[in-house]
Structure formats: C-alpha cells, structure tokens
Amino acid sequence: MNEGKLKFTGSTSFFIDAIGIVVIFMVLKELQSIFIPLLIAYFLFFVFSPLNAFLGKYKIPLSALVILDLLIIIFLFGGITSVIIDSFSRFAEQLPQYELKFNNIVSSTALSLGVKDPKFTNFQVAKMLKDIDLGLIAGNLFSSTFSFLGTLLFVIFFFIFVVTGQQNIYNAISNRYYKKKQSNNSSSLQQSENILKNTFKEITDQVQRYVITKFLTSVLNGLSVGIILWIFRVDFLLVWAAFAFLLNFIPVVGSIIAVALPALMALVQFESVSYALLIALIVIVVQNIIGNFLEPKIFGNKLGLNPLVILLSLLLWGYIWGIVGILLSIPLTAIIKIIISRSDSPNLNLLNDFMSS
C-alpha cells in the first residue's frame, strides 16, 4: 500500500512539474516584448564578459566599460545594416530587369514542358502582384521597423542594468538559497555556494563558447559564400553573404535558406537552371564542411544535447518567440540543461537524461 502511494505521489509531482513548465512557457510567450530584450541583453553580457573582465584588471570604471560595449554594439549593428540597406536599394533599382528575366524563365520552362496554360506561357509577375495591397505591406513594414527599434532600445536599456547589477543578482540568489544553512553546517554551505558558482560559471562558459564559435563559423560561412558568388559573378553578393552569416545561427533551416537565396538570384540573373544548381551545390558542400567538420572540431560536443532535443527546441522556441527564439534556441536549451542537471529532483534528472546526447 505504501509503495503504491509513493508511486502515485511521484506521478502527481511529475504532472504538476509539467503543468508548471507549460504555464512558464505561456507567460514567456505572452510577455515576449519584455523577456526577449532582457534575454538578448543577458546574452550580450555573457559575450562581453571576457572583454570587461580583462579591461577591469586595469581599473577601468564600470561606466566606461558599459559605454565601450554599447559603442561596439552600435558600430557592428550600424555597419551591417547600412551594407544590407544599400544593397537592397540597388536591387530595387534593377528590379524591372530581374522581373523581365523571371517572366522569360517561367514562360520558356512552361513551353519546354508542354504546358499550354496562358498563365504560364505568358507569365507576368506584375499580374500576380496586382491584387496585393501594397499599402498594407508598407504599413506592416513600418510597424515591424518601429517595433524592432523599440526592442533595440529595450535591449540597450536592459544591457546597462544587467552589466551594472549582475553581481547583486548573484548575491541575492546566493543569500536566498544558501545563507539560511550557515548556522547549522558551514561545510554544507560552502558546498552549496560552490555549486551555485560553478553553475553560473558553466552557463557563462557555454554561452560564450557557443556564441564565439558560431560567430567565427558564421563569418567564415559568409566569406565563403561571398567568394563563391564573386567567382560566379552573381549580383549583390554582399547581401547573400550577409544572409549566409546571419542564417548560420539558425540550425538546419538557416542553411537551406542561405543556399536557396543566391541560387534563385543566379537563376534569374543568368536564366540558367544548371548554372544555378552548380552554385547551389558548391555552397552546400562548403556549408557542410564548415558545419559538420570545422565547427565540431572547434566547439566539440560540449553542449551535450540530444539531436532530437535540438530539433524540438528549435520548434518550441520558434513558436514562443519567433525568429529570435529560433536564433537562441540552442543556447537557451543548453542553459536549461545545465540548471536542471544541478537539481536533486528525480523528475528533473529524468528530463536531463532525455536531453543528454
């Protein structure tokens, strides 16, 4: 009888934990306008921690370090944004030429396949787009831009307070969970504090290692794509190289899009399917070399995540926070795994085992 009650209690506890996790994810989704900037600010804090720690040894004031971090962020963001905007402006100027070439590709392909439908034999992109509400698109674009700028300001705002208040947050957590043990068992207190320190250190190391490795491999990926497209004379190679850099942060899906975009550009520009496929094939080979050989050599399997968990986390965080959730899905899941691995709960240990590779 007692054994049966224990099993029932364990099952009840498991489902209560599961419901609690669902509620937490619902709150994260509903309050994403607050949590996304805060999370990005924390990731930036982890990224800049080595630089701040190094400069801090020379007694540089914290306020000066924050200003330096912000200048680096603004410089990098402004530089990438200006390149992309300039390239898209030139792309818009040449859009009528690409539209005409695309019409010819669709029409000639339809005729070669024996399709007699006038919609394809006399294909016109303009006819397909005539029913699209351009005013609505412009309004949505303006709204998205305004929302993005608002998020960026929130990120900067949160980043300032995270950098200046991180130590206080650590002290508050330490006092909340470990100070009460001090009077009874000092050795137990020291052990608990060491666990907390090691947890924070491992989270920081994992995030820094992941971001730095991903950044370096993404730069290499962008440069490789840019060089390939330069060799094949594909227009707007800076745009596609920038996309290859950014999309490398998105597991699986990002690589597919990074191949499809320049291949489509080559198809429209040169009106040759074989030429576009050749470029796509070379880009795929290079991406596989970088992603499947170089990146594991540099980073290794330090995250220790089950490949199925990586895929599920991509879908879950993408559902909760959209593109930002997709970009941050792997480090977020790694952080959760680190935290639950320190728990004594059997249910969380079971979840940790499921997540491990």
Total domains, the chain = 1
Name the residue with higher pLDDT: 3 or 261.
261
Name the residue with higher pLDDT: 276 or 354.
276
Residue 351 has pLDDT above 70, yes or no: yes
Name the residue with higher pLDDT: 192 or 212.
212
Domain that holds residue 142: 27-181
Give residue 260's identity as a one-letter amino acid code.
A
Count how many residues are written for the chain.
Answer: 357
pLDDT number for residue 281: 93
Q: What percent of the chain has pLDDT above 70?
A: 72
Q: Establish if 314 belongs to a structural domain.
A: no
Q: Establish if 123 belongs to a structural domain.
A: yes
Task: Using pLDDT thresholds of 50, 70 and 90, give the confidence band for residue 7.
Answer: very low
pLDDT number for residue 39: 85
Q: Establish if 331 belongs to a structural domain.
A: no
Q: Establish if 150 belongs to a structural domain.
A: yes
Name the residue with higher pLDDT: 249 or 234.
234
Closest CA relative to residue 83, chosen from 214, 243, 233: 243
- Region 27-42 average pLDDT: 85
Neighbour tally for 31: CB within 10 Å: 11
Residue 132 has pLDDT above 50, yes or no: yes
Q: Establish if 268 belongs to a structural domain.
A: no
Maximum average pLDDT range among 146-160, 164-178, 236-250, 295-309: 236-250
Task: Using pLDDT thresholds of 50, 70 and 90, give the confidence band for residue 288.
Answer: confident
Residue 69 has pLDDT above 70, yes or no: yes
**What is the C-alpha to C-alpha distance for residues 103 and 95, in angstroms, rounded to an integer?**
12
- Region 43-53 average pLDDT: 82
Token pair recorded at residue 184: 């009874």
Residue 66 has pLDDT above 60, yes or no: yes
Give the model confidence (pLDDT) of 317-333 as tens digits: 888 888 788 878 878 88
pLDDT number for residue 230: 92
Task: Please give the torsion angle defined by the CA atoms of residues 150, 244, 273 and 122, in that order, rounded to the nearest 10 degrees.
Answer: 0
Q: Establish if 129 belongs to a structural domain.
A: yes
pLDDT number for residue 42: 83
Q: Establish if 351 belongs to a structural domain.
A: no
Q: Establish if 302 belongs to a structural domain.
A: no
**Mean pLDDT score of the chain:** 75
**What is the C-alpha to C-alpha distance for residues 342 and 146, in angstroms, rounded to an integer?**
41
Residue 145 has pLDDT above 70, yes or no: no
- Region 46-62 average pLDDT: 83
Three-class SS string for the chain?
CHHHHHHHHHHHHHHHHHHHHHHHHHHHHHCHHHHHHHHHHHHHHHHHHHHHHHHHCCCCCHHHHHHHHHHHHHHHHHHHHHHHHHHHHHHHHCHHHHHHHHHHHHHHHHHHCCCCCHHHHCCCHHHHHCCCCHHHHHHHHHHHHHHHHHHHHHHHHHHHHHHHHHHHHHHHHHHHHHHHHCCCCHHHHHHHHHHHHHHHHHHHHHHHHHHHHHHHHHHHHHHHHHHHHHHCCCCCHHHHHHHHHHHCCCCCHHHHHHHHHHHHHHHHHHCCHHHHHHHHHHHHHHHHHHHHHHHHHHHCCCCCECHHHHHHHHHHHHHHHHHHHHHHHHHHHHHHHHHHHCCCCHHHHHHHHHHEC
**What is the C-alpha to C-alpha distance for residues 148 and 111, in angstroms, rounded to an integer?**
45
Partner residues linked to 305 by β-bridges: 356
The least confident of 145-154, 174-183, 198-207, 289-298 is 174-183
Name the residue with higher pLDDT: 117 or 2.
117
